[in-house]
Amino acid sequence: MTELLKTPEETPPSLEAGRGAAFGGWFTRVVLKNGPLGGLIALVVVMAALSKDFLNGQNLLNVGVQASVTAILAFGVTFVIVSAGIDLSVGSVAALSATVVAWAATHEGLPVWCAVLLGLAVGVAAGLVSGALVAYGRLPAFIATLAMLSVGRGLALVVSGGTPIPFPSSVSALGDTLGGWLPVPVLVMIAMGLIAAVILARTYTGRAMFAIGGNEEAARLSGIHVKRRKLVIYALSGLFAAVAGIVLAARLTSAQPQAASGYELDAIAAVVIGGASLSGGSGKASGTLIGALILAVLRNGLNLLSVSAFWQQVATGVVIAVAVLLDTLRRRSAR
């Protein structure tokens, strides 16, 4: 009789418990087990609470633009770190590639498309040199790419004469917006992220990166030509750096030989915050994107709060250390 009198609006306690458990399971799976995503969500909530302007639509687009160059650089660095390497040269390679594009188009009169291809080729060439030093010269990746950092920056200064070069207007469109609101750098970032994700998950080179990073000797014994793969890996890093440099120069409307200075550290930080291990064998493009967004959200929020640039550097370092520590603890607990 009681069952018949129960109103349709009443929900059995067991169903409510089931819904609660389902939500709890989703929250645990998506947020708690994904440290970088949980960190990004927490950071957004904190910044939104501290600044009423943070969730403004235009400000969120600005965050995307601020993250774009770092994210594109970091996608390329992800390949290297997954394979247990490091690339300190990406900032200098980005500046060199953009400088070559501007020099070829403005000073030498080459067609813009040809100048862009030349700039991309310079990025690939720089990556190949670093890869050759690591794979065939047996130099530690840290030393090889540190040398390329100096060489790349020096060549950018030589090509430009130490002064900014106006960027071709047609390429500068990469720094504009579509429809007056959608930033093109964000679209380029998304496109390069998808390319990086496909390379990591769907290609032989991507599988080789994880194998080399997990155990280089085992990868060699399994038939992977490790030296050739390393050439490809560093060439990809150089290519992504060249794209990032072109996007940055488009935003600035000029190629500046000192541009992207220090960006290599931001790129490495984004990869590590995104959950990749510096010892190799793990990493995702989506995690790298989240890492770049965390850095951009932090800096944007601190700017809105009028925090000194000096303290911003301190806060960034603390966030990097905490993110890596939490991810390390999460990995240990999962074993």
pLDDT tens for 55-109 read 998 999 999 999 999 999 999 999 999 999 999 999 999 999 999 999 999 988 8
Token representation of residue 157: 């200064």
Q: How far apart are CA 254 and CA 272, in angstroms?
A: 31
Give the torsion sign (CA, 72, 75, 80, 84).
positive
CATH of domain 63-329: 1.10.3470
Check whether 306 has a pLDDT greater than 60. yes
Domain map of the chain by residue range? 63-329
Structure confidence at residue 6 (pLDDT): 46
Confidence tier at 4 by pLDDT (50, 70, 90): very low
Q: What is the reported pLDDT for 325?
A: 79
d(CA 76, CA 200): 11
DSSP structural state of residue 54: T
Under DSSP, the state recorded for 255 is E
Q: Is 7 left (phi over 0), alpha (psi -120 to 50) or beta?
A: beta
Q: For residues 290 and 12, what is the distance between their CA atoms, to the nearest angstrom? A: 40
Q: Examine the pLDDT at 25 and tell me if it is beyond 70.
A: no
Which residue type, as a one-letter code, is found at position 233? I
- Residue 100 and residue 119 in contact, taking contact as beta carbons nearer than 8 Å: yes
pLDDT digits (tens, 9 = 90+) for 181-199: 899 999 999 999 999 999 9
For residue 277, the model assigns a pLDDT of 86
Q: What is the mean pLDDT of residues 37-62?
A: 92
pLDDT at 296: 96
Query: In this structure, what is the dihedral angle of CA atoms 281, 287, 288, 291, given to the nearest 10 degrees?
Result: -130
Residue 278 main-chain phi, psi, to 5 deg: -65, -15
Q: Which residues contact 174 (CB under 8 A, 6 or more apart)?
A: 184, 185, 188, 246, 247, 250, 251
- Residue 252 to residue 72: CA distance in whole angstroms: 17
φ/ψ (deg, to 5) at 165: -115, 130
**Residue 11: CB partners within 8 Å, gap ≥ 6?**
none
Q: Please calculate the CA angle 201-297-292 and round it to the nearest 5 degrees.
A: 25
Instruction: Return the C-alpha torsion angle 167, 67, 316, 291, nearest 10.
Output: -140
> Tell me: the pLDDT tens digits for 127-178?
999 999 999 999 999 999 999 999 999 999 999 999 999 998 888 888 888 8
Length of the chain: 335
Rounded-to-integer distance, Cα 257 and Cα 254, Å: 10
Predicted local confidence at residue 18, as pLDDT: 56
With cut-offs at 50, 70 and 90, classify the pLDDT of residue 2: very low
pLDDT > 70? residue 330: no
